[in-house]
Amino acid sequence: MRVAFVLKGYPRLSEAFIAQEIAALERCGLDLVIVSLRHPTDARRHPIHDEIRAPLHYLPEYLLREPRRVLRAWLAVRKKESYRKARAIWLRDLRRDPTPSRVRRFGQALVLAAELPADVERLHAHFLHTPASVTRYTAILRGLPWTGSAHAKDIWTTPEWEKREKLADCEWLVTCTRVNRDHLAALAPAGRVELVYHGIDLARFAPPPAMRLGGDGSDARHPVTILSVARLVEKKGVDVLIDALARLPKELHWRFVQVGGGPLKARLQKQARSAGIAERITWRGARAQDEVLQEYRKADLFALACRVAHDGDRDGLPNVLGEAQSQGLACVATRVSAIPELIADGTTGVLVQENDAAALAAAMQALIRDPARRRALGEAGRARVRAQFTLQGNFGRLAEKFGLKSADRVLRTA
């Protein structure tokens, strides 16, 4: 079976979990075509992207920039009976969502329906918002079944009417947390939505060569290194984390490494300067997966201050938490969305309420002063990841849904 995977953008540094999934499906024998609604904007790419062999097809990102291509597509599909059905569904959607984005998605679907290779038998959308819209319209135009994967923002910022209708139309949908599954299952026909954790690929995140005990913050020559890996956007709560760092006692010696870029960088750097801690912070920017792994191995403590953004956007289960724990790092995070599915407070990490800088500071202070406690939490977190949150342990179910039976044989183990 040949499947077209429809993504919002490819390749993307922030979506290594999708590349991991595609690479694993290819190793299991799935014949793939990658369809991207946007061209890449990241200057870097992960090594795993170079392992993927699927052909890549870019749709017109903006219809006005490629009018002839859009016109050719419309002429090619407009006389089909399926065009009337797809157009009627799109117009109904447009009345409820009269935005340029909605127009663009139908235009992209026309192009995809006209240009999709004839041997593609199924479409699969990664994300329930715009990629699923293009996928749904294209599936109707081509008379093909479609399936999907839902993650975070796409779930919580999509209107309920739209989620219900997409879930009614797709054959099946997987999502990466119990919180997501329960929410979507309540809107879908029975049995339509299934939980499949992304999982950490232990072949790429093998245990570190040696576990570091680290210091206790009392020696200026050996400050405790706190790491966070997050895009600089509202839902990641980096401003709360900076506030928490500024609350740490003056006598504690620490440094903070932030990996990830984003639109709030200048504002956050200004906040750090105003708080008087700018000299303790290193802004690494976006990094490839192998570089991030080295940051995990150099750090003493991992912190993530996720929250629900004003528009409802939130994380599902941030993959960076599982990656950090796979390296034996103690994690401090917030009780948002599905994070408690991974981190058991006080056992495999420490959880605080979102937007509570004082509680976050207290949790970090306690762990900075207690390296033995950090090590115990890190080892417990690593054991939990290996037991329940590995690619090797979760991927088999996804492979089965695509009709593949060889997942256990081809997946590498660590």
Tens digits of residue pLDDT in 144-200: 999 999 999 999 999 999 999 999 999 999 999 999 999 999 999 999 999 999 999
211 falls in which pLDDT band (50, 70, 90)? confident
List the Cα angle 240/245/247 in 5-degree steps. 100
Looking at per-residue confidence, does 239 or 213 come out higher? 239
Question: Please, are residues 246 and 275 in contact by the beta-carbon 8 Å criterion?
Answer: yes
Instruction: Using a pLDDT cut of 70, give the percent of the chain over it.
Output: 98
Give yes or no for a contact between 141 and 77, defined as CB atoms under 8 angstroms apart: yes
The residue ranges of every structural domain in the chain are 2-199+390-410, 224-388
CATH number at 224-388: 3.40.50.2000
At how many degrees (to 10) do helices 81-96 and 130-142 cross? 160
List helix spans (H) across 152-258: 153-156, 160-169, 178-185, 238-246
Residue-level pLDDT at 257: 98
Closest Cα to residue 335, out of 302, 360, 299? 360
How far apart, in whole angstroms, are the C-alpha atoms of residue 164 and residue 187?
Answer: 5
Q: Which alpha helices (H) appear in 119-177, and where do they start and end? A: 130-142, 153-156, 160-169
Tens-digit pLDDT profile for residues 46-78:
999 999 999 999 999 999 999 999 999 999 999
Q: Identify the pLDDT of residue 408.
A: 59
For the four alpha carbons of 15, 364, 295 and 41, in that order, the dihedral sign comes to: positive
Query: What phi and psi values does residue 120 have, to the nearest 5 degrees?
Result: -75, 130
Q: Which pLDDT score is estimated for 44?
A: 86
Which range among 121-130, 205-214, 258-267, 405-414 shows the weakest confidence by mean pLDDT?
A: 405-414
Residue 213: the pLDDT is 81
Query: What confidence score (pLDDT) does residue 413 get?
Result: 43
Residues 331, 377: contact at Cβ < 8 Å?
A: yes
Quick one: pLDDT at residue 389? 95
Residue 34, helix vs strand vs coil = strand
Q: What is the pLDDT of residues 356-412, one digit of tens each?
A: 999 999 999 999 999 999 999 999 999 999 999 999 899 999 999 999 976 655 555
Helix (H) or strand (E) holding 19: helix 16-27
**Cα separation, 331 vs 228, whole angstroms:** 10
Identify which of 260, 387, 261 has the alpha carbon closest to the alpha carbon of residue 322.
Answer: 387
With respect to CATH, is domain 2-199+390-410 assigned 3.40.50.2000? yes
For residue 208, name the pLDDT band (cuts at 50, 70, 90): confident
Task: Give the strand pairing for 281-285 and 193-195.
Answer: unpaired
Find where tokens 């210091």 sit.
215
22 and 32 in contact (C-beta within 8 Å)? yes
Angle formed at CA 349 by CA 291 and CA 127, multiple of 5 degrees:
60
The structure tokens listed for 336 are: 């948002």
Query: Are 2-199+390-410 and 224-388 the same fold in CATH?
Result: yes
Give pLDDT tens digits for 309-358: 999 999 999 999 999 999 999 999 999 999 999 999 999 999 999 999 99
> Residue 276: left if φ>0, alpha if ψ -120 to 50, beta else—which one?
left
Q: How far apart are CA 366 and CA 360, in angstroms?
A: 10
Segment 67-96 shows an average pLDDT of 97
Task: Confirm if 193 and 350 have CB atoms less than 8 A apart.
Answer: no
- Residue 409: predicted pLDDT: 55
State how far the alpha carbon of 39 is from the alpha carbons of 42, 74, 109, in Å.
Answer: 9, 22, 16
pLDDT of residue 407: 62
Residue 317 CA to residue 69 CA, distance in Å, equals 39
Give the pLDDT band (50/70/90) at residue 27: very high
Q: What is the mean pLDDT of residues 85-113?
A: 98
